[in-house]
Amino acid sequence: MGRTFYFTTPIYYVNAEPHIGHLYTTVLADTLKRYHQMMGDDVYFLTGTDEHGEKIAQVAAKKGVSTRALVDEVSGVFEETWKKIGINNDDFIRTTQPRHKEYVQQVLTAVKERGDIYFDEYTGLYCVGCERYLTPTELEEGLCPDHKTKPQEVKEANYFFRMGKYQAALLEHIEKNPGWIRPERFRNEVLSLLRLPLEDLCISRPKTRLQWGIDLPFDERFVTYVWFDALLNYPSALKRTTDGRDVFEKYWPECNHLIAKDIVKTHAIYWPTMCMAAGLPLPKHLDVHGYWLSGESKMSKSLGNVVRPLAFEKQFGIENLRYFFFREMKFGSDSSFTYELFVERYNADLANSLGNLLSRVASIVRKSQGGKLPQRPQEDEAIRAIAAQAKTVAANYGGHFEERRFHAAVDDIRALLSAGDKYINDQEPWRLVKDPSRGRELSAVLYTGLEVVRLAVLLLSPIMPRTCRTLLDYLGETRPLDGTVPFNELCAWGGLATGFEIGEVPRAFPRIDEAKLATVLAAAAPSPERATAPPPALERKPSKPEITIDDFSKVDLRVATIAEATFVQGADKLLRLMVDLGEGRLRQVFAGIRSAYPQPESLVGQQVVVVANLKPRQMKFGTSEAMVLAGGGGTSRLCAVTFAEPLEPGDHVS
């Protein structure tokens, strides 16, 4: 009897359309589902959209559409995208659905009755981008480290959840369950957060400020704070599925959340304490992955460097990207996506290694065996070695998947394919074909070559389901991969369908040439119109108190020429600049503009504005002797202030 699993992705905000960052977590859940099904397990997979909160209401207002229209449209885009590219989710939850709203209200009522919700006045620093209050220690130079925006100081009366009451119980749970948060370094991060005092959580917003949300069942003047609402999607979707079933008892005990590192705090602290107060058993695992970076910077809509799943599907095929995801990302660490790297990996692993092995061997089978797959041969030493390797790869595969070492599983498959390739090169079937007396040797070589391909494709099938199904069918391996045939049987060496007649050799992975890559790159580069399009009309209010001209004249602004620009080890937001202010020496400045300049060398020679009389600041990496002015950040692009004409270093700016 198989095991039971419940995989969830974060429910995505509907303020922007899906990009390949969202795609990754969704593909991860989909791949885990397919892997477990192949192992005979019972899996439920949930994804969906997070539709309340200030951020969404603000975007709708900016676009001049109703919030309802915005959420319906963008949620539809997410759902359609997943459908079009073959994501096999069991349900899709929207937090605006009645089933979810009712559940949230039930939980709020229960937690209030238990005495864990109280009313109080509070002043805090709120980041709309994060949709949460930030603690002063989380700020970098007064700004939200993720959104580069100044949090608003909010003072209001609200309802609070006694999160602090559950701190000790949560700490104990995490200490006693080492695999609860994976990988280890995120567990350590959470443990260190939990060693500081844990404040209670503000869980309401007054309707005078925000109407878009779920009403508090005990006070209609307030809506529920978006995270208290959103996290409850995980159980609410099980309590009532879209087709009206209650599958909570069955799947909840096996809940495994998949998230990226941006939302660890909400999932590892807010969520389990909420579960404790609501009397819900805690989820079983929290798997945390790193970011997909676009080159050096995090992929995000505001940086204009996102890759859209449906566009990619047309360009190079989503399944090839799924392969790249697992081949490239070490679970828990950040990875870089560039089209160039994708094409390099695709050409090497899929076109050259897998595709070539299949087409070389299959075409000789067509030529020499009338297309019929040969009999399983007597095994010589070379075949025994390759069969032993295949057996080890299959034996380690489950452990790699279940410990989230996907890249290691792919490495093993690649090694098996290169052993197959070497075997074919050594045995030279194209020469054996010419010698009728060596027919038996020839068919042994052809069998072995295609058996390696069959096994590699079987193991890749959770990652590239459609492509692999087509290739397996081509090889006469038509057995279902849904657990009805035990995995060990499928993977046993010698399973190739002897006597099956293969058809015309498919061009499974045509090589991607330079010209195709160049076309895609040109289309992906941000177009000048897009880059310079005016932002939607916004009412901008001054955010700081008025100052006099005398106050302003205290600031010594100067032209500085950048002489050097480099990354700072251990600081993913900073660049180290050496700037010339015409003083006969260079000044060192640490500037928080790294996300805008993935290739810092491009800054060398540029002239920027610096605050020259800022008191030098001692930082972890050295002293910062001035400050560079930059515009944007927050929800738009970040860009250093420069000049249209060359000036002298040290010139005044006023």
In sequence order, which residues have a C-beta less than 8 Å from that of residue 195 and are 6 or more positions away?
171
Is residue 19 flagged as an active site residue? yes
- Window 215-234: contact mask with ligand MSP (x via CB under 6 A): ---------------xx-x-
Q: Cα separation of 502 and 480, whole Å?
A: 19
Q: Does 275 help bind ligand MSP (rule: CB under 6 A)?
A: no
Nearer to ligand MSP among residue 298 and residue 404 (C-beta): 298
Segments in 300-405 forming alpha helices (H): 309-315, 318-328, 339-345, 356-368, 381-402
Confirm or reject binding of residue 272 to ligand MSP (CB under 6 A): no
Q: Is 134 in the site for ligand MSP (CB under 6 A)?
A: no
Cα dihedral 304/15/330/252 (nearest 10): -170
Catalytic, 289? Answer no
Catalytic one of 52, 55, 112, 144 = 144
Interacting span for ligand MSP (CB under 6 A) from 21-29, 34-42, 116-124, 190-198: 21-29
Question: Could you please report the per-residue DSSP string of 469-496?
Answer: HHHHHHTT----SSSSS-HHHHHSTT-S
Q: In what order do the strands lie in the sheet with 132-134?
A: 132-134, 117-127, 152-161, 201-202
Please identify which of the residues 36, 100, 127, 400 carries the catalytic annotation.
Answer: 127
Q: Does 22 bind ligand MSP (CB under 6 A)?
A: yes
Contacts of 39 (CB under 8 A, 6+ apart): 2, 398, 483, 487
- Please indicate whether residue 639 is annotated as part of the active site: no
**Min. distance of Cβ 13 from ligand MSP in angstroms?**
4
End-to-end Cα, the chain, rounded Å: 76
Nearer to ligand MSP, 58 or 356 (CB): 58
The secondary element (H helix, E strand) that includes residue 159 is: strand 152-161
**Complex with ligand MSP: residue 82 or 423, whichever CB lies closer:** 82
- Applying CB under 6 A, among 5, 6, 7, 12 the residue interacting with ligand MSP is 12
Under the binding rule (CB under 6 A), the answer on residue 203 touching ligand MSP is no
Out of 104, 125, 134, 260, the only residue in the binding site for ligand MSP (CB under 6 A) is 260
**Which residue, among 547, 546, 480, 468, has the nearest Cα to 508 in the 3D structure?**
468
Q: Among 6-14, 435-443, 462-470, 641-649, which window interacts with ligand MSP (CB under 6 A)? A: 6-14
504: which residues sit within 8 A by CB, 6+ positions away? 366
Span interacting with ligand MSP, options 7-15, 215-223, 409-417, 445-453, rule CB under 6 A: 7-15
Q: For residue 299, give every residue at least 6 positions away whose Cβ sits within 8 Å of its Cβ, in sequence order, or none.
A: 19, 20, 21, 291, 292, 293, 305, 306, 307, 337
Catalytic residue among 19, 36, 148, 239: 19
Does 301 participate in catalysis according to the annotation? yes
355 belongs to the binding site for ligand MSP (CB under 6 A): no
Pair of tokens at residue 493: 């060496």
Q: Are 159 and 203 in contact (CB under 8 A)?
A: yes
**238 part of the interface to ligand MSP, by CB under 6 A:** no
Cβ count near 471 (within 10 Å): 24
Separation between Cα atoms, residue 99 and residue 236, nearest integer Å: 7
| Active-site residue, 255 included | no
Residue of 38, 71, 259, 303 that binds ligand MSP (CB under 6 A): 259
Q: Could you tell me which stretch among 18-26, 105-113, 145-153, 203-211 binds ligand MSP (CB under 6 A)? A: 18-26
Establish whether 147 is a catalytic residue.
yes
- Residue 441 touches ligand MSP, criterion: CB under 6 A: no
Q: Is 127 a catalytic residue?
A: yes
Query: Phi then psi for 359, rounded to 5 degrees?
Result: -75, -35
Q: Check residue 262 for interaction with ligand MSP (CB under 6 A).
A: yes
Q: How far is the CB of 416 from ligand MSP (least distance, A)?
A: 29
Closest of 452, 340, 433, 352 to residue 393, by C-alpha: 452
11 in contact with ligand MSP (CB under 6 A): yes
Query: Which residue from 278, 237, 279, 277 is spatially nearest to 257, judged by alpha carbons?
Result: 237
Q: Using the rule CB under 6 A, is 21 a contact of ligand MSP? A: yes
Q: How many CA atoms lie within 13 A of 484 on its CB side?
A: 5
Q: Which is nearer to ligand MSP, 263 or 362 (CB)?
A: 263
Q: Which is nearer to ligand MSP, 274 or 410 (CB)?
A: 274
CB-nearer residue toward ligand MSP: 12 or 166: 12
Figure out which of the listed residues 263, 274, 568, 578 binds ligand MSP, where binding follows CB under 6 A: 263
Q: Which amino acid is at 291?
A: Y
Q: Which of 5, 25, 481, 609 binds ligand MSP (CB under 6 A)?
A: 25
Q: How far is the CB of 58 from ligand MSP (least distance, A)?
A: 15
Q: Binding ligand MSP by CB under 6 A: which of 5, 7, 13, 222?
A: 13
31 binds ligand MSP (CB under 6 A): no
| Helix (H/G/I), strand (E/B), else coil: 230 | helix
Active site residues: 19, 22, 127, 130, 144, 147, 298, 301
The residues binding ligand MSP (CB under 6 A) are 10-13, 21-22, 24-25, 50, 230-231, 233, 259-260, 262-263, 291-292, 298-299
